[in-house]
Amino acid sequence: MEDYTYLLSKQTTEDDYYNNKLYFTYKQQGYLGIQQSRINGTFHVRYPSNSPLKVEKIDIIFSGNGMVQWNEGDKINYAKTKYFEYTSCVYDGNELGENGFLSYSDLPFEFTIPENIPSSILPIPSKLTNHLSKARINYSIKAVITKTKKYHILKNSKKIVEIECPITKYVQQKEIENLESVTLMKKIKNNEYSILFNKTKFDQNYNNIINLPLSIIVCNNEENIRNIRKIQISLKENYLLKVGNKTHLVKNILFKEVIIKEKISPVENNRYLVDCKIHLYGKRIRSSVKTDLINVWHQINIDVLLKGSRKIRLFEKIIDIVDSIDN
């Protein structure tokens, strides 16, 4: 018989879960992707001395898994992969010659994080898929507690305590800073539009604002600038799910802003400037990644709405959103 207990947050602390008898604390040591990284943690046992935990053995398991699923009518496309699974025995009463009673114990553990794994990927929001699509990459730490066998029971019973353990992969900030700028240009109805991307890779934590100055050069008369009703800027997060040779695309709009024509500022003669910004702060953003089951990428779209015309796509640019460190 197995008894499952789930403690959900990586911010688990002794103060937060003082009343729990079994819990983890842990930390990711080192910047995965740049240097060798580890998970260092402790499994805590907090039972009263007059009613200790009767245990024969405690194993800690650190594992990583990926899965995707989507429905096509009655058909379900599903795939999963196990990136790794490591086990460490942190307590063995038989080897220690102990009677197997634990009340107050702190059992340390450490695992090396494989260098080739991706960052954790949060599940796709169900509002986008009506629960018909799923995709995630998750890592977990699990304690398997083999209880002392009772004389009238032939099999040992087990208790399992498990928490999710988000893993972050990093790039160096200088890699982002050294990227070359990109300028895109387009001409529509005698107006020339150009937008500057200082870079195409952005750190979602280091700088929460993406500045994209949009320049408009009008041809000959001001009537052309008055024909512009508004400019729209948006940031999309795309998820491509893969099972064998089949794929399924899910799109999520993270940010959208409409800039009215009154905010289109003249700078010189027939040139105008639109201050386009994308705010990343407060968004639940998944890092850009390519894996065997799921690709995540981000796309910036700039549209113009003209009088008497429907929305016209000016520019679209795929970017990477990552976690970086200044190293």
Q: Enter the tokens of residue 226.
A: 């008055």
Average pLDDT, the chain: 85
The pLDDT of residue 155 is: 62
pLDDT in tens, 93-137: 877 666 778 899 999 999 999 999 999 998 887 778 877 888 999
Mean pLDDT, range 222-247, rounded to an integer: 88
The pLDDT of residue 90 is: 95
- Is the pLDDT at 192 greater than 70, yes or no? yes
Asked if residue 60 lies in contact with residue 90, where contact means CB atoms within 8 angstroms, the answer is yes
pLDDT in tens, 54-82: 898 999 999 999 999 998 888 999 999 99
Q: How far is CA 290 from CA 137, 156, 191, 238, in A?
A: 12, 42, 38, 12
- Is the pLDDT at 207 greater than 70, yes or no? no
Mean pLDDT, range 290-313, rounded to an integer: 91
Higher-confidence position of 21 and 156: 21
The class that CATH gives domain 14-168 is mainly beta
Confidence of residue 222 (pLDDT cuts 50, 70, 90): low
Percent of the chain residues topping a pLDDT of 70: 88
The pLDDT of residue 156 is: 66
- Is the pLDDT at 146 greater than 60, yes or no? yes
Amino acid at 149: K
The pLDDT of residue 130 is: 77
| pTM for this prediction | 0.83
Question: Which stretches of the chain are DSSP H helices?
Answer: 93-96, 173-177, 223-226
Q: Enter the tokens of residue 225.
A: 């600038």
Mean pLDDT, range 237-248, rounded to an integer: 94
Query: Where in the chain are the domains?
Result: 14-168, 172-325
Mean pLDDT, range 198-208, rounded to an integer: 82
Amino acid at 112: T
- The dotted CATH code for 172-325 is 2.60.40.640
Buried b / exposed e over 37-54, threshold 16 CB at 10 Å, is bebebbbbbbbeeeebbb
Higher-confidence position of 73 and 144: 144
- Those residues with Cβ within 8 angstroms of residue 198's Cβ, 6 or more apart along the chain or in another chain: 181, 211
Mean pLDDT, range 311-320, rounded to an integer: 93
Fold agreement between 14-168 and 172-325: yes
The pLDDT of residue 97 is: 60
Question: Which of 77-81, 152-156, 248-252 is predicted with the least confidence, judged by mean pLDDT?
Answer: 152-156
Mean pLDDT, range 280-301, rounded to an integer: 91
Q: Enter the tokens of residue 168.
A: 């972050």
- Is the pLDDT at 293 greater than 90, yes or no? yes
The pLDDT of residue 4 is: 33
The pLDDT of residue 253 is: 93
